[in-house]
Chains A and B, each alone.
Chain A
Amino acid sequence: MSSNMAKRDLNISNNEIENKTQQGPLNTEDWIKLKKLQFWSIIDSFKINFVQEKTILVIDKKLVGLFSLIFTMDQLKEKGIRSLSYFEEQLSQVDDTKHIIYLCRPRLELIPLLSIHMKSYQSRSQMYLMALPKLEFSFSYLLEKEGLLGLLKTVSFDIGFIPYDTDLLSLELTDFYSRSFVENDNYQIETIARSIIQLEQLYGPFQNIIGKGTKSKLICDYLLPAQDTLPPFESSQMKTLILLDRNIDVLPMLLTQQTYQGLIDEIFTISSGCSIMLDEDDQIDQQQQQPPRTRKVILDSKDILFSNIKNFNFSTIPAMLHNNALLLNDNYQSIKPTNNMSIPDLKRLVSKIPSIQSQKDAINLHTIISERLLKTVKFEDFQNRIQFEYECLLSTSDANNKSLEYIQNMIIRRKPMYQILRLICIYCLTFGMSAKVYQSMIKDFIHVYEYESVPILLRLEKSGLIGPKETLALYNNYQILRKQFKLTNNSFDQNNNNVTSQSPNTDDVTYSGYVPSITRIIERGQQQRQTEWKNILESKLLPINNSPYFQYNLKSTAKYNENSSTVIFFVGGVSYSELASLRHLKNIYGKGVGYDFLFATTNIANSTSFLMNI
């Protein structure tokens, strides 16, 4: 790394450290406390005598991450709940369990599991079902059909938004894209709208609602009449709500994320917004043929170092860490006691030590994580993948065949299936495949992977992510967006496009040479709200799909000031890198001019989880 480069990085990291107050408007701890209270009051409403009667909790595996935020094993024990198990596990045959509390999203697939579980216990135990966010009619109908409804006491737990960061709320509806966009089953729309209304009840009403897309429109239709029922607010902390359908541009959900947080998610998978499992020591243990010990690492806004670096392209992270370490070292030197120190001085020094210690720990942790990430990043495969994605984004005709060949080579080498599917999706949405190429690609794919992969292919086809360009509705989207919003940087030095060297000063700090369209849309839209939004929604986005757009000014009497944030709701999911690129807008334009965002989403996904949930 050239010295010039390092210097620039140093500047940035210094800025970032000074900018410690870059926290969002949410107090995550209070939110979690509230959710905890709700949860325990529901448990209390069952009126179980925990001391005398054995009570267990059975939860849906998909909710484990979510609930690790709300309760811990110790808290359950303290309450008197003896154990926690999953639907998939059968309980030990006979025991004296008196009460079973089931906790699940009412997914119909769960019914058979629930049925087996309950039937082995029904004679002896009292059973309760806590459904998130509500017990649906269809679910209770099936329960009734199985003869289970009478045995259960059912309660709904409207958990609403889960705060993942000080500026990020998620509803954790992982199947939303698939159910709503693919199957046209809009049952979760109401949940979303209700949660947004709850948000307004807490932080104040919106002044205007802007959006694009059929699902967004449905949500908006729920929101509008509810505005009159809100209690009066003197001032509101939320000014604008922007609702955007994911299928305006799905591409960012498929690209490899390159920000620090995004890359961590791609490689380690961040669960429930803040924790990852990290191998303790990799190679030594593997040789001894023991499963590697893992530890849980919490990455949240309390980790100031992480907050400062998470939104930057990974290429800049090692340098930032290095500079931070240097700074810390300076600090450390400065607190060495000298001979002629007064007692108050000494006290001040001593008080600094814990904070220095925690900074040191943070640097250590992120150095370890970065090293792990680097191992993957340096791998040729990864480099090639980024190269491929970049070629696709640029869509230059001379790279077309090369990219196609790349996919074919990957298929022949039988790389993990979802990885291939992702490549095919990206290619179909950018270059586009002719019917002939597509058919032979599919044939190749099926020949190599089990024929059972066919349902997955069909599903992707149905969701419009893959297919011959003649029939693929989303195919044109990207090219139009790219031209309208200048998403790619053609002058970008191609020899230098790998992630180990990237200038972070331009606005493509998150992906190399590419800015997600949603960032651009919002950047433009917020510049001159009335005119620009109309311009974008009406003319620029029109050719993409003829889905409805809307812009309403609400009759709110609340006052709005520079602290009122803009809420962006991603209907169908969002990735960390996309969020990062939006967060950088505030750095560019400053505070109080419409780029103070509060993000809300149905779910957070990376390229793999997005495809797996379809």
Chain B
Amino acid sequence: MSVLASSNWSIIGNSTYSKKEIYSLPWDIDLKQSIVVGAPFGGPIVVYRDSSKLLEVNSQNSKNIIRIFTAAGYEMSKMMWDSTKGNIVTMDWIEKERLVIVLESGIVLIYNIFCELLSQFSMGDAVKKEGIIDCKIWSDGIVVLTGQVNFYTVPSVEDIIRECGRVIQLAKIQEEVKVKPGWCILEPKHSVSQGVEVFASINETLYLIDEDKADSQLDSISNITRMVVSPSGIKMACFDARGVLWIVNTDGSTTSPVKFETKSQKAPLLKWCGNDGVMMYWDSVKDPVLLYFSQGDTWAKYTTDSSVSLVTEIDGLRIISNRTSEFFGKVSDVTIDIFKIGSTSPAAMLYDATEHFINKSPRADESIRSIKSDLELAVNSCILAAGYEFSGSEQSKLLTAASFGKCFLDGYNPNAFVNMCRSLRALNAVRNFEIGIPLTIQQFTEIGPEEVIDKLINRRKHLLAWRMCDYLKIKSDVVLNHWACTKVRTDIDDNELSRIIINKLESVPGISFANIASAAYMANRKKLAAKLLEYEPKAADQVPPLIKMGESETALGKAIESGDTDLVYLVLLDMKRNRPLADFLEVTFSKSVAVDLLISYCKQNKDMNLLKEIYGIKQQTKEMSFTFLYEAFREPNFEKRLGSFEKSKEFFQQNKQDKDDQSNAQLVQEQIKLEILQKELENTTKESFLGMSISDTIYKLIITNDSKKAMNLKSEFKVPDKRFWWIKIKALSALDKWEELFQFSKEKKSPIGYEPFAEVCLEQNQPTEALKYIPKVQDPVNRVQLYIQINYYREAAEVAFKEKSIDLLNLIARKCTNPEVLNLVDQMRSQLQRR
């Protein structure tokens, strides 16, 4: 067996490579006439008849068909390509196994593996006008080269799908371009600027172009016609016009590039094999040639009897031909250790010993003994080597060896062994030709089990995905959800289907039914959707689908149950938009919380009409009158304003039992009266009065010397004397009519005392005037304080003494600075204390 294992090895330079068949393809594709593009990580293959390739007239393939196959060559889907859509420039795969097709017009179409259109967008008018002459695609983006030698890029297709991305034009090249440049993409994750960059060979100079600038990197002797960056983004392979292959570093650090003269003028297709070397492929009808170059002077030539298509993997290269799919890549060190002819490494010895043991040969013991000290190493190697094998029998032999060796070790940690068994079981399952995902162990570790599950879901292999989740201990929610969403699009009878789905999903705690219900609704199965939604545990997730289904009542109930006000709003606003008003209000009024919220909404949004409608239904006359009141205040038109006031008053009056409302009605009536009066005043005096309060109106009338009207107003609105006096005092002082003020004070006994007179004088800085009133101030404390304010300390002291108040005297002593008065105060104090 070990002889067989190494039979397809070839030694290129210092490394050993193998080229092994992984699938024989059952398809009927002739690669000569087709464009064949495979997705990395064992992804699907798209096949399209190539209009640039020769065409056999009577061939079936003459129809423009796009077909998608698994990596094992089984057709998953196909579609007729409608050539009126435009000519295809490029098609390639991006993340999540989605197919991107770029048309000459700059339209980009994205399909899933079942040829269902997921999304479509345009690269913009500039691109359309300039016309695309070349296009390259990487795992999440697109770069196109236009007829005017401008580069445009979609830095993230994902962002565009989510409607937050955009198309960017890279910096222009400043020199005239003579021949169509060779170019390639440096992905954002590899570039220094973290944006898309492009290498382009223009007029014998290599440029690195990003969004802002185009820098020349190095002068080459001739134009580079083809170039491609390695999967790690570190190295770049270039093929120049003289037939020389260069390998340089993308960061520009190369001083002496690796060169390889191919002696071929014709440019080959370049594909990296992992990050190890470059496969060149010259496609010709007669004699297709594959030439592999890694480093130094080492190369290997492979012949092939038909055209091939190459897919770069992170650890090798898939070679797809008419009949087979092969994997080309470096053989791992552990594998070489074990299977190299004549190998005496511990692992090889262990493998050997195991075979002897199975054959019941005593040499088993001998071999084990000889490697006793390195046994752990040998076991680990066998485990690792098993991972690199595609063949099940070889895997099990290696694992048997490992498990055999393990028996001789004390306290060996079995985790590595168990994990490898688990990974291999998963890998073998997906590698099976019926599934057709030929992942290597390295690829598997790179993308992780979750993504493998995603790949299975995408292929609608739910059962396998679900089992794998179970086996790899991953949450199976995603799988079940996707499964159920797919199921609802089939035509199984509603009851039957809901039973199946609920049976399956009920056992999973916390799984969401909402999006399954949505899917069912989209598939026009409303009943099913409603039924499924009942099982959704989170109210927040129930509400939006219910709205979508037009189940507003239920949605409203659920939203209120959830306690999330925003959800309630969502239902209300949706109903408001989509339902007749009466209907909408009827549903809303079935829940009092909803009514409160709707009212709050109306108030914030100033939707007075709806507000009135609501209060009308609720027969809330109080609120209704308030609403009219608010409306009146905001209404600039006088007539309409009065109208609203009247309405407000009417509603207040309706509520005969409520005293508050009756007095409110009076208040509104007063306001109506006031405004009419003010309007009249405005007409006669040409001064503005509207909007003023009663006090202010009176004040203004006094200021404008219209005391008679002021008196009228006073009696009309029963303004109490107290307030009227204050207004008049204030107005007279503002007019500086001190004499008149004094007369007024003597008119009759002031209902508000004489402090206000003194106050206004002091406010206007008239201490002498104030002095006229201070003696009349009743409250001695106030009198003292007023005297203090105008610095009449002696008088203040006299009052205080008369009142026999030590406190007041103390106060005066604190404020006063006049020594004479201070003396007096001291005397008074001692006199009072003596008593």
Q: A residues bordering B, Cβ < 8 Å?
A: 47, 49, 107-109, 111, 134, 136-138, 141-142, 145, 153, 179, 183-187, 189-190, 218, 221-222, 380, 408, 412-414, 435, 439, 442-444, 446-452, 454-455, 458, 468, 471, 495
Contact = CB atoms under 8 A, between A and B. Distances in A.
Given A109-B604, A412-B752, A447-B693, 7 more contacts: A108-B605, A137-B570, A141-B573, A142-B605, A153-B164, A183-B599, A452-B691
A40 B597 CA distance: 35
Nearest to A459: B626
B564 A451 contact: no
A413 B722 CA distance: 11
A33 B97 CA distance: 40
Interface string B644-688: 000000000000000110010001000100100000000000000
Contacts of B446: none
B633 A452 contact: yes
A448 B720 CA distance: 12
12 contacts: A108-B605, A137-B569, A138-B566, A138-B570, A145-B577, A184-B593, A187-B565, A190-B565, A218-B563, A450-B692, A451-B693, A454-B633
A221 B562 CA distance: 11
B723 A448 contact: yes
A308 to B, nearest CB: 29
B695 A189 contact: no
Contacts of B618: none
Given A187-B566, A454-B629, A414 B604 contact: no
Contact of A443 (B630, B667, B807): B667
Contact of A183 (B567, B600, B695): B600
B601 interface: yes
A450 B693 contact: yes
Nearest to A185: B600
A222 B565 CA distance: 13
Given A221-B563, A412-B723, A452-B691, A446 B164 contact: no
A153 B164 CA distance: 8
A408 B720 CA distance: 12
Contacts of B468: none
A408 B723 CA distance: 9
Q: Indicate the member of B565, B593, B691, B694 with the most A CB atoms within 10 Å.
A: B565
Nearest to A443: B667
A442 B663 CA distance: 10
B726 interface: yes
B258 interface: no
A495 B808 CA distance: 12
Interface in B277-292: none
B597 A185 contact: yes
B785 interface: yes
Given A412-B722, A412-B752, A413-B726, A138 B633 contact: no
Contact of A184 (B596, B604, B719): B596
Given A108-B601, A185-B565, A452-B633, A447 B573 contact: no
**6 closest pairs, A vs B, by CB?**
A187-B565, A137-B570, A108-B604, A185-B600, A138-B569, A141-B573
Contacts of A185: 565, 596-597, 600
Interface in B682-732: 691-696, 717, 719, 722-723, 726
Interface string B770-800: 0000000000000001000000000000000
A312 to B, nearest CB: 24
Nearest to B722: A412
B603 interface: yes
B140 to A, nearest CB: 14
Contacts of A442: 667
A448 B674 CA distance: 13
Given A108-B605, A189-B563, A448 B693 contact: yes
A442 B605 CA distance: 29
B717 A447 contact: yes
A446 B563 contact: no
A20 to B, nearest CB: 36
Contacts of A186: 563, 565
Interface in B535-582: 563-567, 569-570, 573-574, 577
Nearest to A183: B600
A218 B671 CA distance: 42
Contacts of A468: 660
A447 B695 contact: yes
Nearest to B603: A183
Contact of B566 (A190, A435, A451): A190
A435 B605 CA distance: 34
Contacts of A153: 164
